Chains A and B, each alone.
Chain A
Amino acid sequence: MICFALLFFCVQSAHSQEQTSPEEFTTALTGKYPPFSYYNAKGELTGFDVDISREIAGRIGQPSRIVVTEWDGILAGLLAQKYDAIIGSMAITDQRREKVNFSEPYYHSGAQLFVHRDNPNKVYAIEECDNLRIAVVLGETYQYYLERNYPEIEVVTFKSTIEIFEMLEQKRISGFVTDKLVGLWQLKSTNRPFVPVGTMLYKEQIAIPVRRQDETLLAKINEALCEMHSDGTIKNIHDRYFGSAESKKISAMKTSVIAAKLLKGFGITLIIAASAIIIGFVLAVPCGVLLTHKKGLLLLPHLLVRTIVDFLRGTPVLIQLLFVWMGLGLRPFPAAILTLGINAMAYMAEVIRAGLISVDTGQSLAGQALGLSGLQRFSYIVWPQAFRIAIPPLMNSVVALIKDTALIAIISIPEIIRETQSVISVTFEPRKYYFLAALMFFVVTIPLMKLSGWLERRIKRKGYAND
């Protein structure tokens, strides 16, 4: 019941606060696609798309707000009204046109095949790649293009070009297809031993998608783009990022900025984890108790809690997260805390149920013989014993939940994984920063695991738990 009440409250509060403020022009991009969107040496969001976004906002007379989100969920986020438009180098495709309306293109690019300089497979064109592993970023148009036109190619997908670069460097893939401009720029800034081969696979028009019904907004964007083309603004912005001077500077993010970004990301991870743990535990106690009562008036609440717990445990957290974020329309932070919280509730409630039923019924009977009321028997006799038994598995749930926070990057929360990826997108050092992120988790989870082990030994020594 509490669970539903909380859900209802959150949905209500989400509806009362509109996702996109009418005063702001809210746009989305990934922040991991240099030089179109990335974090500069000061840790600020910048890039070609960022400047285009701000310029359009200025021209349509609204303050600019930019949401950083994952590419594979970016269109769904637009449809779920998380932002007004995507200005993140999205190519026009028929498939996308079925769902959204595109503006006039603001630049043109094309797909290009890149291979390792050593070219062990002796590949000089996409037509020669049959049965080879060719990488693309998940959800990009290149993936569908390759799958449709070259079914013999083994298309492998990655979250970003950074992972793809690493794979090709180790020659674990034969090549990759990406935007020609971006690919060339990235190769130049990272000194990777890759080369473009063959001609462009096809040309693409890059434009700004908006929701179907936002026709007025689309007209305003088109008007702004038209002005920007004719007065040379787009060319100026292009030169700012594709001119040789700027491209050399990008990867020089200061260590202090990186540290601040990672620590802030990890701080957000911990705050969300802590909030979810508190919500989870507070809900888990009554739910755990209800799971042990199947009779009388409590039968209905029991069945309700049993169904919720089974559903939450039997479905992936990622899907629950996306459902709460997009389906129920909650903002990212409440969505993350609520989803992880009720998910933790489900696992903790089962642990508490197991703890409660492992307390011998004679204990409660002895309390009754001493004249203690039902509530007193629960509070002073059954619960303390059940809780002590439940502590080690509860700690496991806490550790699992902290690790599950890695999933919330998908709903555009700047937590540790997202921040790590955005640092990697400009430093091109995935090994170092993924290891650092793992280390941060470890620093927090290892004391919890040690504490759990210590409590378990202590509980056994005192004879609370059955061996």
Chain B
Amino acid sequence: MKDESNGRDMPMIKIKNLCFSYPDGTEAVKNISIAFPEENIFAIMGQSGSGKTTLLNCIARFLIPQKGAVLLNGRNIKEMGEKEFRKKVGVVFQQLNLFPHLTVLENMTLAPCKVQGKAISDAQTDAMSMLERLGIPELRDNYPSQVSGGQAQRAAIARGLMLSPQYMLLDEPTSSLDARTGSEFAGWLRELHEDTHFIIVTHDLLFAEQTAARGVVMRNGEFKESGEISAILKTFSYRENTDD
């Protein structure tokens, strides 16, 4: 696993000897170490139950590992303030968790206004330019229940991007999309990179290939393969993965 230091100012998440077990004794993550490289989009692949979402939740600080550490730009995330950490690492959940009582625009302006103390008009201007950049400005006044799965997916990412995080963690982004929308979404995500690095957790190898250049495959809480996704796919077929 690649684990050398990057450039001084480059954002970097490093994981050192991370172990996580659930209260029932299930070891979901077993002594994992990794430094997420500079790639804008990095994929963590694996079947359900392989431990990838648990790993994501440890990185997102929703789960506290029993052993090991997650370092963000050299600092243990356990020691960071909540606000500081959340500003640097955004999360888009598998279920999206858009707030159903707020419009898309209100979903996007809530955190800038309440967390960063921005004026509502400024936050709305920022949100509108974000929606335009993402190609969904017409959704501003729609409630989440009034938009399609693909649009909701984009709106959830737009909401996360409002805080300009260095890292954005996406959990199973294709679960609510059909195959065609999934590949469109992959193209769309590739165009987004700019300042934010995406770590995608997915069971969909095709989607991973369409979006990310590099990635890892997890199985039974451990990394099995890592490197270029195209290379991984050559040696690690979906069939082999499912047969295990």
Contact = CB atoms under 8 A, between A and B. Distances in A.
A372 B163 CA distance: 12
B110 A360 contact: no
A370 B159 contact: yes
B95 to A, nearest CB: 5
Interface string B136-148: 0000000111100
A380 B97 contact: no
B176 to A, nearest CB: 13
Contact of B100 (A365, A371, A462): A462
A371 B101 CA distance: 19
Nearest to B62: A365
Interface in A343-370: 360, 362-363, 365-366, 368-370
A371 B82 contact: yes
A242 interface: no
Nearest to A361: B97
B231 interface: no
A381 B99 contact: yes
B163 A462 contact: no
B114 A369 contact: no
A251 interface: no
A369 B145 contact: no
Contacts of B62: 365, 368
A53 interface: no
A366 to B, nearest CB: 4
A369 B90 contact: yes
Interface string A112-154: 0000000000000000000000000000000000000000000
B60 A369 contact: yes
B101 A388 contact: yes
Contacts, number: 64
| Among A369, A384, A463, residue most surrounded by chain B Cβ atoms (within 10 Å) | A369
A462 B142 CA distance: 10
A12 interface: no
B44 to A, nearest CB: 18
Contact of A369 (B83, B86, B101): B86
B111 A365 contact: no
A461 B164 CA distance: 33
A371 B99 contact: no
B93 interface: yes
B127 interface: no
A385 interface: yes
Contacts of A370: 86, 90, 110-111, 115, 159-160, 163
Contacts of B110: 370, 372, 380
Contacts of B99: 363, 366, 381, 385
B114 A365 contact: no
Nearest to A463: B145
A363 B91 CA distance: 12
A376 interface: yes
Interface residues of B, number: 26
A372 B160 CA distance: 13
B115 A463 contact: no
Contacts of A463: 100, 143-146
B199 to A, nearest CB: 14
Contacts of A384: 101
B114 A372 contact: yes
B193 to A, nearest CB: 20
B16 interface: no
A376 B110 CA distance: 10
B83 A365 contact: no
Nearest to B86: A371
A236 B227 CA distance: 113
A464 interface: yes
A305 B231 CA distance: 61
Contacts of A372: 110-111, 114-115
B154 to A, nearest CB: 16
Given A370-B159, A388-B101, A462 B143 contact: yes
A379 to B, nearest CB: 9
A381 B114 CA distance: 12
Contacts of A388: 101
Contacts of A363: 97, 99
Nearest to B95: A362
B90 A380 contact: no
B145 A371 contact: no
Interface in A377-431: 380-381, 384-385, 388
Contact of B101 (A360, A365, A376, A385): A385
B149 to A, nearest CB: 14
A371 B83 contact: yes
A371 B93 contact: no
Contact of A360 (B97, B143, B144): B97
A4 B66 CA distance: 43
B30 interface: no
A220 B102 CA distance: 73
B99 to A, nearest CB: 6
B163 A371 contact: yes
A388 B102 CA distance: 12
Contact of A366 (B97, B101, B145, B163): B97
Contacts of B97: 360, 362-363, 365-366
Interface string A426-467: 000000000000000000000000000000000000111000
A388 B143 CA distance: 15
A365 B61 CA distance: 11
A457 to B, nearest CB: 14
Given A366-B99, A369-B90, 7 more contacts: A366-B97, A371-B111, A372-B110, A372-B111, A376-B115, A463-B100, A463-B145
24 contacts: A360-B95, A360-B97, A362-B97, A363-B99, A366-B99, A369-B60, A369-B90, A370-B90, A370-B110, A370-B111, A370-B115, A370-B159, A371-B83, A371-B87, A371-B163, A372-B110, A372-B115, A376-B114, A380-B114, A385-B101, A388-B101, A462-B143, A463-B145, A464-B100
Minimum-distance CB pairs A-B, first 6: A463-B145, A371-B86, A366-B97, A370-B111, A369-B91, A371-B115
Interface of B: 60, 62, 82-83, 86-87, 90-91, 93, 95, 97-101, 110-111, 114-115, 143-146, 159-160, 163
